[in-house]
Amino acid sequence: MRKYEELAIEIVKQVGGKENIISLGHCVTRLRFNLKDESLANDDVLKNMDGVVTVMKAGGQYQVVIGNHVPDVYKLVNEVAGISADSAPAENNKKMSFQDKFFDIVSGIMMPSIAILSASGIIKGLNTLLVIFGAYAMDSSYYVLVNAIGDGMFFFFPVILGYNTANKLKANPFLGMVIGAILCHPSINGVDLTFFGHTMNVTYTTSVLPVILIVALAAPLERFFNKIVPDVVKTFIVPMLVLLIVVPIGFTLIGPAANMIGTVIGQAINAIIVFSPVLAGIVVGGLWQVFVLFGVHMVILIPSLMNLLSGKPDLFMALITGVSFAQTAVVFAIWMKTKNRKLKNIAFPAWISGVFGVTEPAIYGVTLPRIKMFIISCIGGAVYSAIIGFFGTQMFTMAGMGIFALPGMMDPVKNSASGVIEAGIAIVAAMVVSFVLAYAMFKDDKVDEVNAVKTNEKIEVKKDMLVAPIKGDVIPLSEVSDSAFSQGIIGNGIAINPKEGKVFSPCDGTVLTVFPTKHAIGLISDNGSEILIHIGMDTVKLEGEHFVTHVEEGQKIKKGQLLVEFDIDAIKGKGYSLETPVIVTNTADFLDIIPMETKQTTVGDELLTLLT
């Protein structure tokens, strides 16, 4: 594990230091930070670090995608940052939207237990498999013991969720755990109890929503009592008062309502799928990796998880279980076909981890940078889910990911493995389609032509010229304050400190991108150079204020045509630097990019020479 120590140190440094970290969690492949100020994190440096796949921002979290070894890195990052893995998150004063806050809370509650929950599901599936193959009978002591090993976490899941919820909401986690334990107590589950003349019979073992909502009520109540109860008796009086208030309310009102909500949501989702299972499969399977991309897939899975935990077969979970194999097949095709040694080295572990359901390394490291390949993997995912929808295959228990998910499709009541066979057919079909399309359509990036040119062959060098789009003082790109530009991560070029609030086209070409915030514009010249003009540093935060655009995406433009106007005084008055990089983003397509040696420039002066 210590081999990741330098990586952990550098990650803490690049997210803005330990002082910038509010809390830290992890899932199967990602470190999930809550940061005080995300602008202090150096996205581009992190993305280009060895050991980091990419960086994502979703659900109010700053997510550093690591890969399969994330648990080891997580422990070391905790050590470096001085974070206790069991401590409650620090106070979060960062403003978050309701959606981001919801995603953050849900992932904080569910993620810590997902790995062990998956392991338990695999054990339950293997137990059914052993019965099918005659290793032992369902009434044997072996089956009973192995079933208890697999079913223990499911049965007492409210205890674990109670701990996680309290920890996330900055309450006493042991109070949350006790609330979960009370809900699982056998004397109050599945029996008739009468309160104020009303008889009720409820079961909370294996449930999800009731304990979360009850602990959500307990957390502010605990904080209230901590303020008014004397310190000398606070440690035992506060939890006593909280339990005596919230458990009766939770058991009789919140719990039944939560169970009803969970049942209605689960039934609604399954009803939609049953209405048109093939169409539902195409949509869900085609989009599932996009949900994974943005890190919101866990929230979408909660209704299905509730179904499985309560012992109800689930259609939706079956639809998405084998989608990862389409991604795996695409990466395998790329690994076989590419002649790029670096890409081979990335693709090999990526498709291996994909077999086990971990696709982030494949997505971020291989297919997403080659968007056509990512789209093919989505097509393959749609094929898988459409076939599952056609068969009506169900998931019977929460299992692992990838190949370890298959035991969850065995019917433990009928001792039937037909679901596994159907899933196997769907996986093979999805992999064949994905592999064939990817192998046929994949082409390596620009080949190193130097080795293909005979040593005695004359190489013709062509020049292209970009003129200054702005009047102002010229600054070497290496002196720009933003390291993403100064280190040449985005591409080579030059920067200008404007003296006039107008940006003109440096070439004849086409407008590729006009950013919604109007602070940057992307062009492609008629000679193929891709140009980014980024007006100022961090001016994206102005959200378009003080900028006026005069062109739109796809518009043909001429050299010297006015593109953007901006208010220099107003932007400077709000404390923003107006250093404006002019970058050739497809730098790798050129032999060299040579800036003119001048300290000042006016619009139309020669600025960058591009050699091809």
Residue 381 has pLDDT above 70, yes or no: yes
pLDDT of residue 415: 78
Rounded CA separation 476/293 (Å): 36
Q: Tell me: do 241 and 142 sit in the same domain.
A: yes
Judge if 414 and 306 occupy the same domain. yes
In this prediction, residues 405-410 reach a mean pLDDT of 84
**CATH number of the domain encompassing residue 532:** 2.70.70.10
* Mean local confidence (pLDDT), 422-446: 91
- Kindly state whether residues 265 and 118 are assigned to the same domain: yes
Task: Work out the burial of residue 79: count CB atoms within 10 Å of its CB; fewer than 13 is exposed, 13-18 middle, 19 or more buried.
Answer: middle
Q: Which helix (H) or strand (E) holds 159?
A: helix 157-168
The average pLDDT across 325-346 equals 87
- Per the model's pLDDT, the better-predicted residue between 446 and 148 turns out to be 148
Question: Is residue 177 domain-shared with residue 257, that is, in the same domain?
Answer: yes
**What CATH number is attached to the domain comprising 22?**
3.30.1360.60
Residues 6+ apart with CB under 8 A from 149: 120, 123
What CA–CA distance (Å, rounded) separates 450 from 457?
11
Which segment of 134-143, 276-285, 404-413, 549-558 scores lowest on mean pLDDT?
404-413
Same domain, 135 and 247: yes
Residues above pLDDT 70, as percent of the chain: 89
The residue whose two tokens read 């891709």 is 530
Q: Which tokens go with 383?
A: 């094929």
Rounded average pLDDT over 418-437 = 94
Residue 456: inside a domain: no
Q: Residue 299 burial (CB < 10 Å; 0-12/13-18/19+)?
A: middle
Structural domain count of the chain: 4
Q: Which residue in the block uniquely carries the two structure tokens 């409650």?
A: 88
- Residues 419, 285 within the same domain: yes
| Interatomic CA distance for residues 566 and 498, integer angstroms | 10
Q: Looking at the domain assignment, is residue 449 inside a domain?
A: no
Does residue 260 sit within a domain?
A: yes
Which residue segment(s) compose the domain that 190 sits in? 103-270
**Residue 27 counted as domain residue:** yes
The mean pLDDT value for 310-314 works out to: 80
Mean pLDDT, residues 574-580 taken together = 91
CA–CA dist 146, 114 (Å, integer)? 20
What residues are annotated to the active site? 27
| 134 or 494, greater pLDDT | 494
Q: How far is CA 293 from the centre of its chain?
A: 5
Same domain, 244 and 332: no
Residue 408: inside a domain, yes or no?
A: yes
Percent of the chain past pLDDT 90, that is, above it, reads 35
Query: 314 and 352: one domain?
Result: yes
Q: 237 and 117, same structural domain?
A: yes
